[in-house]
Structure 1
């Protein structure tokens, strides 16, 4: 914005001594004093006085620069006349008369002082009485609020003729930010300057008003507190004279404290706080805080506990009645009850983590555990919790402070040995308010939780008799130190037969009750249930299956409301009519054996899945392309697989030079879903070798395993979830690492019967099983067919039409 105008060809640039100011500025139209500290500035003032007094006052951009140059100075300065030099206790002061704004055009020298040249500026000014009156009024109010009233100053302001003169005079009176001062100095329009001054005065008056109000309120509050204190003391004296000075509240609290069964140290703390309450009185500001604290102490179950049911048969019966399968979890609970029955209260509470996909029954089985052993159950959802105080509580110094969720759960349970379910522990967050996962370390450590201290209570509470059951969808997001404190049990999901039994024995009855037809006989054919499972759900658990059953039952409820009485039978055709078009396919593998197309296996937080891996070759220079949203680890697996193929080219019947003549493109479909992990290594290596040797891959074979540069097959995780996915897709043979053979007995019996599980230790064994005889000659250097890309037909949907994978284990 151009606000000033240099009048060229009217005034010539004139050399003059220059005095630079640091950290502030001055304005024309007044006579004032300026502190002189630098040797060069002192010399400039002396020279100016000897030559008649004229000098140029300018402002430095950076106060730290000791010897400024032209670029270090703001271009607009003030032509002034130095009248005298004064020595004061605070230093040398220059008495100077400030005339008008001029333009600094250059610096001619700096020894022994700065000599500059300037040109005159033409300023625009006006007479605006209304603006002047408003500014003077705000200035008077401002001076009154800050307590610096001076009649002489106000007389001078009223004597200003133009808006520019008034703006410059007021700017020199009030405290302004440095950038505002520079803007006012550079502004050649008097009205504009005065409007800026007025706006600043308005703001300062508002701030001063608020400050004055705060001080007044504080003074009134102090007077009221003193008055209330005097009245309370008089009331005490009056009650004493009347013989009515007993207050029931402290005595009631004392009785509750004595009957709460607190440990000795906690009892001492409670009585100490009660004494403070009695001393301060019920009307004091802190009385409610102390009273709330004591009420929390008295409401906690220090000695109350429920009697465990040690009947092993009853425990098994309850667990089997509520859940189908899940033998690992049930067996662990039975073990706990048996050991508790023998060891008594010397045994500490169990800390169990149930890890698995959504919908497999992690939270519901925790409820069954509480019912089986006869304990109270409290559920705490940790999903999205980011504040450490949610676990440990807030300190009492904060307004509205309360204990953390653990102590609140014990208060709600009214027993010191409940079952506490910490749901979604893998979704605990971290931010500037603290790390809740770290706070859980003490809660879930059997060696520490016997003296858990909440920040609000500030006294220890014994959590050693509590059964903690945590749930999670994945272990990778749980801190290692926290995971180490828990016994983790994996719940990978259900196979079709298990889902069928769960639907018939549990879910159908539950949905009948929920939809008002619990008393009617409803029979759903096995084929109809299998149709629901195969063609309308794609999940490791049974949550979507339950929703689909609810849809079927609601259709029956409409018929009942219309007058039908049943019984009802639902066939497969009825399911297709109710559910509409099939969303998924089942048991469909590739239509034919393909070159360069291998079926891998993957697992993520939602269960297992198949993972087609495609390899295409084209003429080029040996470049490798990886697509499909592959993570770093998966890309490294592809590089390792290709390196193995190159290093073993001759044993595969290939010429090593072929790899420098062909571009390799590896693609994993479902490109929008991120994928990572090392277990696709043997699948990638098999696809690459198939493409180069032109040996088709068996379409009924799936494989999983990490591969090394020497072709060794390393173990992987999630075998149960992967074999379930292979079984669902109609795969007949699964190749798995030899080190995972020990996990085969833990697979469902139906999986072991229907799948041929072949442990392999080297890639040669994989190739021998997965690859068929070549359909053409292997690729060679100079082979014209090498330039033709091997086109892969799009893979047939294999029953896994949803997201394939988030991470490959």
Structure 2
């Protein structure tokens, strides 16, 4: 393939084709008037040389970025050079050393032959006039640039300028000769070759010379700056050494040497340091002797050594815990599902007995805020006799928060995990990293990868903090992660986790936990006794129902603290503090109720059914309303519904329509009436399939004009064939029905446990 020139070429058109052999060259570009020696070793090139030597000794030399044999093709530059073979002598290994004399520019028009060697048709070029004042001025300015280049770059001999001045009368020859003497890239020389017009050739040469002068000047400036910097450092080193010798002669103290010796003694005295750690610290201590105490690096090394030596290298591992005792301790301090405790104890048993296993997952507790995740982990730490460390995910949103910053960075320090170990003075910790969704939402994948490098038993036996730069065995630390919802975790990381789901508490559990754990803690915090402030169970129940709406206990504790603060203020004012909180006087302390619970209808009605919902705040009643009206058989649904719920309504409608005869409904009614399904509390988004059975009942009630019992609550997903599928949140839903005074609940059979 011929690579066309981007320039308009002045060609001499001929009636007949002129064909010559072509020698492709990759390493250089020849310019007219230049002599060059090339070594030919390829079979096809040697064959071409024999043919040329037997003829008129002429061939075409073409710059080829991709020589023959590469990917089965060849590229030739359109503007090439007609050259004369002056001589050919034997070379090594059967090659020939050929001397070429570059004659003039030609333009290739077509490749005619590839085997046994390349041949191509070509046309002659013309360069135009060479006279005029402008050209003489151009020559003078180019000579000035060449003079500057030879003065800056000693690779060019001074005699070069004199030889070029002799060619000033022939501008074209001058330009080609100048370009051939420059140490430039082949593509720059090819651009000169393609500048057939004289004005274009001189302008191209000016650009190349200007770039060479600027590059040479910049290189000299850099060399000068580097040399000055090295000289300054040598001078500073020499003066600092002299100063030390003068201080030594005067008998002054050397703070640097004394501190270095102090660290040396501390490192050698600490027998618990691993050998690689001791070697690293000794190296840093040695550096202190050679650095001035006034430099920033001196302080950085000193801080680093102090931090490394403050790590608890000598603390022995905590012995394995007695699992029955751990179970008893957790049961006393944590109130929750037996299944959760069993799953946690099974994990602890495996973690203690087989810590050598590299594929042990990381324990992760998933549940809404206030469902006892931190309380459970603290109970585990107390039961195992380990220090409890709590780290919030908002502090771990970057990789530097976890692995620390490199010591070369300004203000660098260790990560939060190393800081926690230093503060606790032991590696035997139970570390609870909560609110992990903040790490995920930060969008920094490197932070999440660094976190798993620290907590995953497959990687944390040699965890390296970037600041400390020393490997740590984190397998002695029990890491527990906490997240609000399991779905928040990216799928690729799920197989690393032992997920424990912690659902929200129902009303009865909240009352028990409040009496057993929250109230005693608040009595102690506010300095009150039970005789000064009493709570009845009905008062606690009213606070839970009317002043909180949550799955956990955070909001409940905040409401209770309001009451404790009022009691504390009354006591501090010298008034008699004898408060008995009952169901009737809660509003005197907390004001008007904040939430109005959903209630079932007072009597059976057509098109109204009581459904059960499972939300982030726990279980709740969900009244579903329906009515029919004259129309064209459309189904209308309102109430801020999600796509899954809309599909569930359509499926329920199709099922009831298919069973119309069994339900005593006229088929024609479905074509003559529209059905409107509405979910009250439209400001709250709703989604999920669990209302399918309730919607089916509402549609059947509306079309058959039969009332639905108001003392029954319903939940369950319905398929097109009428099968009822299991749903989640049964405990919370049952609790919601119980709170509303509904004691009959219709559930999917598969949810029976």
TM-score with structure 2 length normalisation? 0.63
Question: The residue matched to 1:637 in structure 2 has which SS?
Answer: helix
Alpha-carbon distance in 1 for matches of 2:491, 2:713: 32
Superimposed CA distance per residue, residues 477-507 of structure 1 (whole angstroms, 9 cap, x where no aligned partner) = 1223334323222332333333323333333
2:624 matched residue in structure 1:
613
Change in CA separation of 1:624 and 1:447 when aligned onto 2, cut-off 3 Å? same
Mapping of residues 346-385 of structure 1, within 5 Å: 351-383=362-394, 385=396
Change in CA separation of 1:583 and 1:505 when aligned onto 2, cut-off 3 Å? same
Structure 1 position 735, deviation (Å): 2.6
- Give the number of equivalent residue pairs: 543
Change in CA separation of 1:433 and 1:549 when aligned onto 2, cut-off 3 Å? closer
Structure 1 position 400, deviation (Å): 1.6
Query: Does residue 1:234 correspond to 2:255, yes or no?
Result: no
1:252 matched residue in structure 2:
262
Alpha-carbon distance in 1 for matches of 2:242, 2:417: 44
Change in CA separation of 1:88 and 1:398 when aligned onto 2, cut-off 3 Å? farther
Choose from 403, 409, 413 the match for 2:414: 403
Task: Judge conservation of contact 1:495–1:724 (CA < 8 Å) in 2.
Answer: yes
Alpha-carbon distance in 1 for matches of 2:138, 2:301: 56
Choose from 590, 599, 602 the match for 2:613: 602
Query: Does residue 1:439 correspond to 2:468, yes or no?
Result: no
CA RMSD, 1 decimal? 4.0
Alpha-carbon distance in 1 for matches of 2:674, 2:642: 21
Superimposed CA distance per residue, residues 387-431 of structure 1 (whole angstroms, 9 cap, x where no aligned partner) = 232222223342222222222222222211201010111332445
Query: Does residue 1:86 correspond to 2:96, yes or no?
Result: no
Alpha-carbon distance in 2 for matches of 1:403, 1:451: 16
Alpha-carbon distance in 1 for matches of 2:658, 2:467: 66
Structure 1 position 468, deviation (Å): 1.7
Superimposed CA distance per residue, residues 729-785 of structure 1 (whole angstroms, 9 cap, x where no aligned partner) = 3222233333322xx3xxxxxxxxxxxxxxxxxxxxxxxxxxxxxxxxxxxxxxxxx
Alpha-carbon distance in 1 for matches of 2:576, 2:460: 58
Alpha-carbon distance in 2 for matches of 1:253, 1:693: 91
Task: Judge conservation of contact 1:310–1:338 (CA < 8 Å) in 2.
Answer: no
Task: Judge conservation of contact 2:395–2:401 (CA < 8 Å) in 1.
Answer: no
Alpha-carbon distance in 2 for matches of 1:711, 1:671: 28
Query: Does residue 1:552 correspond to 2:563, yes or no?
Result: yes
Structure 1 position 434, deviation (Å): 4.1
Choose from 548, 552, 577 the match for 2:588: 577
Alpha-carbon distance in 2 for matches of 1:534, 1:695: 33
Superimposed CA distance per residue, residues 529-561 of structure 1 (whole angstroms, 9 cap, x where no aligned partner) = 333333333333233332333333344334434
Alpha-carbon distance in 1 for matches of 2:486, 2:354: 32
Change in CA separation of 1:275 and 1:587 when aligned onto 2, cut-off 3 Å? same
Structure 1 position 589, deviation (Å): 1.6
2:438 matched residue in structure 1:
427
Structure 1 position 376, deviation (Å): 0.8
Alpha-carbon distance in 2 for matches of 1:317, 1:289: 48
Choose from 311, 315, 329 the match for 1:300: 311
Change in CA separation of 1:581 and 1:431 when aligned onto 2, cut-off 3 Å? closer
Change in CA separation of 1:226 and 1:614 when aligned onto 2, cut-off 3 Å? farther
Task: Judge conservation of contact 2:364–2:482 (CA < 8 Å) in 1.
Answer: yes
Mapping of residues 492-641 of structure 1, within 5 Å: 492-518=503-529, 520-564=531-575, 568-585=579-596, 588-641=599-652
Change in CA separation of 1:483 and 1:427 when aligned onto 2, cut-off 3 Å? farther
Structure 1 position 234, deviation (Å): 1.8
Alpha-carbon distance in 1 for matches of 2:553, 2:627: 39
Question: The residue matched to 1:421 in structure 2 has which SS?
Answer: strand
2:654 matched residue in structure 1:
643
Query: Does residue 1:708 correspond to 2:719, yes or no?
Result: yes
Alpha-carbon distance in 1 for matches of 2:450, 2:134: 67
Task: Judge conservation of contact 2:535–2:580 (CA < 8 Å) in 1.
Answer: yes
Alpha-carbon distance in 2 for matches of 1:337, 1:434: 29
Change in CA separation of 1:558 and 1:224 when aligned onto 2, cut-off 3 Å? same
1:412 matched residue in structure 2:
423
Alpha-carbon distance in 1 for matches of 2:731, 2:133: 95
Alpha-carbon distance in 2 for matches of 1:598, 1:233: 92
Structure 1 position 284, deviation (Å): 5.3
Greater shift in the superposed pair: 508-517 or 328-337:
328-337
Alpha-carbon distance in 2 for matches of 1:615, 1:252: 84
Question: The residue matched to 1:443 in structure 2 has which SS?
Answer: helix
Alpha-carbon distance in 1 for matches of 2:277, 2:479: 24
Alpha-carbon distance in 1 for matches of 2:293, 2:644: 66
Change in CA separation of 1:586 and 1:248 when aligned onto 2, cut-off 3 Å? same
Alpha-carbon distance in 2 for matches of 1:713, 1:90: 94
Mapping of residues 190-229 of structure 1, within 5 Å: 228-229=236-237
Task: Judge conservation of contact 1:492–1:720 (CA < 8 Å) in 2.
Answer: no
Structure 1, unpaired ranges of 5+? 1-36, 41-83, 94-216, 745-809
Alpha-carbon distance in 1 for matches of 2:137, 2:651: 81
1:135 matched residue in structure 2:
none
TM-score with structure 1 length normalisation? 0.59
Alpha-carbon distance in 2 for matches of 1:444, 1:617: 59
Alpha-carbon distance in 1 for matches of 2:310, 2:511: 47
Task: Judge conservation of contact 2:257–2:288 (CA < 8 Å) in 1.
Answer: no
Question: The residue matched to 1:578 in structure 2 has which SS?
Answer: helix
Question: The residue matched to 2:541 in structure 1 has which SS?
Answer: helix
Mapping of residues 655-734 of structure 1, within 5 Å: 655-734=666-745
Superimposed CA distance per residue, residues 101-126 of structure 1 (whole angstroms, 9 cap, x where no aligned partner) = xxxxxxxxxxxxxxxxxxxxxxxxxx
1:467 matched residue in structure 2:
478
Change in CA separation of 1:610 and 1:248 when aligned onto 2, cut-off 3 Å? farther
Question: The residue matched to 1:518 in structure 2 has which SS?
Answer: coil
